[in-house]
Structure 1
Amino acid sequence: METFYTFFVSIVKLISTFVAMEILGKENELLMACTALFMKYGVKSLTMNDIASHLGVSKKTIYLYVSDKKDLVNKAVRLHIKNEECLITSLCCVDKENAIDELLDINQKMSEKLQSIQPAVMYDLQKFYPEAWKIIEDHKTCFVSTIVKENIEKGIKEGLYRENVNPVIISNLYVVMVNKIFDTDLFPHMGFDYRTLHLEMTRYHIRGIASRKGIEYLKEKLAQTNQEF
């Protein structure tokens, strides 16, 4: 009897797990679709009716997963950041030749992502959705700074970055530069795009910390793809 009861409980738990996974999968699918809309049209301009219409679902369906638009934006940003962190972590885990290769790979992926972001998105989040903006800020100050710090430490060991570079200071300065990319007073929407700004920032960063050996490697690396740095 006890064996049957244990088996029954195990089956119930298994079914519950599958149901939870299915619900989570549908929620994530909805959030990613909403993120794509925000990237294209901005956040503030889209009403819940607009979102439902674009996605071809009812508002009732959306409200199965979120309580209101604020909750939707927060969850969408949180999932987007989580996916970005998984992507960057996977790039860092690949057995690259060196720290510069690693940083260039990350830069390439991030530039592709930034190309699809409308400037209004960041403005809307910063001004109207402080909780969502804090998620992004925490991501930069914790995750991004750690990735950059570890990359600098790796590059110093490889002799590609200068020995006197302070990884903690430079990684924090890097985050400051990332923040400035989204400063519309400094870089008005009509004059600059995020991809160009990010590329220039990366050039500035690598040239500032690279040793002579690192600079030479960088020139050779980019010459293979007819790029200048």
Structure 2
Amino acid sequence: MKEKIITKAAEMFLSLGFKSVTMDDISNEMGISKKTIYTHFNNKTQLVKESVLKVFEEISCGIDAIQDLEKDPIEELYEIKKFVMLQLKNEKSSPQYQLQKYYPEVYTMIRKKKYENMAECTIENLKRGVEKGVYRKNIDVDFISKLYFLCIEGINDESIFPLSQFSKFKLMEDYLDYHLRGIVTSKGLETLTKYSNKN
């Protein structure tokens, strides 16, 4: 039952927002009593934390599976972007922004995990890109991996990019194009142009 509650809560938090979904909403949606939820979770914060960790694990596993395919590094980034956008598909709420505002401790914990995971993935992607000749040889891999993380976090900041003005899909698309154009070789640019046209 605990896993079912986490799954349903995660789905509702992502589509409706962490603040607006109450324990009553979750119990009504599942057809169980609120008391049942509280036998597994002390409070909403604990449920938010476990739901966020579940989503993080699912996304991490999906990204690992994409990386295991060892595709062209540029193609790999587009596949990861597509996969992540499908997981966080609702544009009516900004999960990261709400998490940061209403559950700062959970946000700090998951941000640290995201950074560690993303740094590893990005460094691996950059090194392979250099080896394959699609990224420039003179790039500073460590610097670019940190910058990539900061920019991905930044475009999710609703105070800078309000949902009323900016589509999450468009932001991700535009940023990925911007990131890659700064590091590709002429060989890499051919692949990037193909993906830009396709998307």
Same fold (TM over 0.5): yes
Distance 1:78 1:41 in 2: 18
Tell me the secondary structure at the aligned position of residue 2 of structure 2.
Answer: helix
Distance 1:204 1:106 in 2: 16
Structure 1 spans left out of the alignment, 5+ residues: 1-25
Structure 2 residue aligned with 1:194:
168
Contact 2:100 2:107 in 1 (8 A): yes
Tell me the C-alpha RMSD between the 2 structures: 1.7
Structure 1 residue 192, shift from structure 2 partner:
1.1
TM-score of the superposition, structure 1-length normalised? 0.81
2:71 is the alignment partner of 1:71:
no
Distance 2:34 2:181 in 1: 50
Tell me the secondary structure at the aligned position of residue 130 of structure 2.
Answer: helix
Contact 2:96 2:157 in 1 (8 A): no
Distance 1:93 1:120 in 2: 30
Contact 2:6 2:47 in 1 (8 A): yes
Return the index of the structure with the highest Cα Rg.
Answer: 1
Structure 1 residue aligned with 2:178:
204
The residue type paired with residue 127 of structure 1 is K
Structure 1 residue 66, shift from structure 2 partner:
0.9
Larger relative contact order (C-alpha < 8 A, sep ≥ 6)?
Answer: 2
Contact 1:92 1:102 in 2 (8 A): yes
TM-score of the superposition, structure 2-length normalised? 0.92
Structure 1 residues 202, 120: closer, same or farther in 2, change over 3 A?
closer
Structure 1 residue 120, shift from structure 2 partner:
4.2
Which of 59, 70, 83 lines up with 2:58 in the alignment?
83
Q: Percent identity?
A: 32
The residue type paired with residue 211 of structure 1 is T
Distance 2:6 2:45 in 1: 13
Structure 2 spans left out of the alignment, 5+ residues: none
Structure 2 residue aligned with 1:59:
34
Q: What is the total number of aligned residue pairs between the two structures?
A: 199
CA deviation map 1:73-97 (0-9, x unaligned): 011101111111111011101142x
Contact 1:38 1:121 in 2 (8 A): yes
Distance 1:72 1:189 in 2: 26
